[in-house]
Amino acid sequence: MEPNPLMTPYKMGRFQLSHRVVHAPLTRQRSFDNIPQPHAILYHSQRASEGGLLIAEATGISNTAHGYPNTPGVWTKEQVEAWKPIVDAVHEKGGIFFCQIWHAGRVSNCEFQPNVQAPISSTDKPLAPQMRSNGVDVALFSPPHRLTTKEIPQIVDDFRVAARNAIEAGFDGVEIHGAHGYLIDQFLKDHVNDRTDKYGGTLQNRCRFALEVVEAVVNEIGADRVGLRLSPYANYSESGDSNPEALGLHMANSLNKFGLCYCHMVEPRMIKVGEKVETPHSLLPMRKAFKGTFMVAGGYDREEGNKVISSGYADLVAYGRWFLANPDLPRRLELNAPLNRCMFGQEPVGYMTIDELQALERHLELWMYNIRSAKMQIMFEEIQLLKNKEGILKVSNEILRGKIVEQTEISAAYLLSMQNGMFNF
Ligand SMILES: Cc1cc2nc3c(=O)[nH]c(=O)nc-3n(C[C@H](O)[C@H](O)[C@H](O)COP(=O)(O)O)c2cc1C
C-alpha cells in the first residue's frame, strides 16, 4: 500500500492523535441567540474520529464579540451548558475538541452590539461595506470605537474567562482566533493598526495585544491546552500587512516562550477563502522558527497534505471545505476514497447550472432526512424547491425555530453559502 503520512499518529503535547487530519474551525451561524444548538451534536459527532482533532467554529468571548447573526458564544452559563452535550458527543467518538475563541472587533455592526454601541477595534477607521459570501447581500459595518489603552486589559480578560468557560464546557483546549481580520488581527496588521500607544507602531507593539491574550489564557488553563491561529498573509476585511513574513516570524518566535499546544497558520495562498493565489511565499520560515506543533491550513487536498507531512513542513493539516462536505474525511483520505465536492464557496456567484441544482436537491433531501432522524428542534414544515429556466431557486420555508421566513427568491449561490449550516449538521 502507498504510504499515507496523513494517517500516521502524532503526539501533540498531552494529546495522542491517531492521524493528522484536523477539522478546521468553520462558522455555521446556526447558534440562535448565540447559544449552541442540539443539532451541532450531530454535525460534530459525525466529523469526530478516534484520536482526531476537531476545532469548533469561531465562538464569541463576550457580548461585544459578534459580527454575524447566530454565531455561538462561550461567555454565559447558558452557553457553557449548551456546549456540554456537543463536546460530550465528540468525546464519545474518541475525538479531541478545541473551541476557537473569537472577537470580531470592527468586523461588526452596532446592531450586534449591546445598547447598539459601536464595535471595538484597535482603530477608529471604518470598514468599507463588503459583499457577503452569498454574492447578494452587502454587509455594512459601523465605525468602530478605538479601544483606549486602559480598556484593553478588560478585553484580554474576556479571552481568559472565555477560555476557562470552554474548559468548563468540557473542551480539551482552546484555539485563540488571531486570524482573518478579526480583533487580534486588527492589532497585528499595520494596514489597520494606526495606534500611537504601546499597542501600535512597531512590530513588537502591534503584537503586544495578541501576546497578552496568549499569556492570560495560558496562565488560566495551561499552555498545553492552548493553540493560536494566525493568517499573516491574509487580507480579510482590509487587514493586510506590509511585511507578513516579519509578522509571522515575530509571532512564531515570541510564542516559543509559552510552550503552546500548537501554532496554526493559514497558507499565504489563501488571501481569502476560495481565492487560492499563486505566491512565492510559504510558511516554512515560521515552521522553522516555532518550536512546537505546527498546523497548516488553506487549500489542502489529500496529495498535498501527505506531501507536507512527509517533508516535515507541517505536523498537522486542517481541512475546511473538504470536511464540511465529507463528515468521514479522515477515513476517506485513508482509503483514498472519492470526496464529495464542497458546495460552499464564493463561486459561482450568481446562479448555478441545472446539474448543480440537481446535486443541491439531493443535498436537501439528505438534510431533511437528517432533521427527521435526529428529531431536530428546528421546525421545517415545508420546503418547496422549484427551479426555473435560469436556475433560480424558490424556497418556501418555515425555519429558525418556527420563525416564518417569507417566500424568497434567492440565488442558488446563497443557498450554497448557507450549506455549512443548512445542509451539514
Ligand atoms: C463556511 C466556512 C466557515 C469558516 N469559519 C471559520 C471560522 O469560524 N474560524 C476560522 O478561523 N476560519 C474559518 N474558516 C476558514 C477555514 O477554517 C479554513 O481556513 C479555510 O476554509 C481554508 O481551508 P480549506 O481550503 O481546507 O477550506 C471558514 C471557512 C468556511 C468555508
| 62 burial type by CB count under 10 A (0-12 exposed, 13-18 middle, 19+ buried) | buried
Listed residue (35, 43, 37, 113) closest to 377, CA to CA? 37
Q: Please give the number of the atom of ligand 1 that sits closest to the Cα of 58.
A: 8
pLDDT of 194 over the 60 cut: yes
What is the arithmetic mean of pLDDT over 264-275? 84
Cα 124 from Cα 105, distance rounded (Å): 11
Between 181-185, 315-319, 328-332, 378-382, the lowest mean confidence (pLDDT) is in 378-382
Q: Say how many Å lie between the CA of residue 318 and the centre of ligand 1.
A: 9
CA distances from 86 to 59, 138, 169, 200, 370 (A): 14, 32, 9, 39, 17
Half-sphere exposure of 324 (CA within 13 A, CB side): 22
User: Quick check: CB of 255 below 6 Å from ligand 1?
Assistant: no
pLDDT recorded at residue 360: 52
Cα 319 from Cα 6, distance rounded (Å): 12
pLDDT of 379 over the 70 cut: no
Cα 192 from Cα 247, distance rounded (Å): 14
pLDDT of 369 over the 50 cut: no
Under DSSP, the state recorded for 261 is: S
User: Quick check: CB of 420 below 6 Å from ligand 1?
Assistant: yes
Q: What domains does the chain contain, in order, with CATH numbers?
A: 5-346 (3.20.20.70)
Q: What is the pLDDT of residues 153-169, one digit of tens each?
A: 999 999 999 999 999 99
- Which pLDDT band, with edges at 50, 70 and 90, does 322 fall under? confident
- In this structure, what are the phi and psi dihedrals at residue 222, rounded to the nearest 5 degrees? 95, 135
Of the two residues 336 and 307, the one the predictor is more confident about is 307
Percent share of the chain, pLDDT over 70: 78
- Catalytically active residues are 182
pLDDT recorded at residue 133: 62
Cα 339 from Cα 328, distance rounded (Å): 10
User: Quick check: CB of 180 below 6 Å from ligand 1?
Assistant: yes
N-terminal to C-terminal alpha carbon distance within the chain: 34
